[in-house]
Amino acid sequence: MPFDFRGKKVLETGAGKGIGLTLAIALSHDGCKVYALSRTKSTLDALVEECPGIIPTEADLCNWDDTREKLEKLEVLDGLVNNAGIDGHDYTALECPKEFLCKLLDNNLLSAINCSQVVAKKMIEAKIKGSIVNISSIAGLASFPNGLPYNVSKAGMDMATKQFALELGPHGIRVNSVNPALVRTPMMQDLIEKGLPMESLCIERCPMDRIIEVHEVVDPILYLLSDHSSMVTRQTHVVDGGILSNITVKI
CA separation for the pair 51, 113 (Å, rounded): 28
Q: Strand runs (DSSP E) across the chain, as ranges?
A: 9-13, 33-38, 55-58, 79-82, 131-135, 174-180, 236-239
Per the CB < 8 A criterion, the answer to whether 33 and 27 are in contact is no
Which one of the listed residues 8, 33, 154, 223 is annotated catalytic?
154
Active site (annotated) includes residue 150: yes
Neighbours of 88 (CB within 10 A): 21
Which residues are CB-contacts of 210 (< 8 A; sequence separation ≥ 6)? 203, 241
Which one of the listed residues 150, 162, 223, 250 is annotated catalytic?
150
Phi, psi dihedral angles at 2 (to 5 degrees) = -75, 140
Neighbours of 55 (CB within 10 A): 15
CA separation for the pair 53, 92 (Å, rounded): 44
Active site (annotated) includes residue 8: no
Catalytic residues: 150, 154
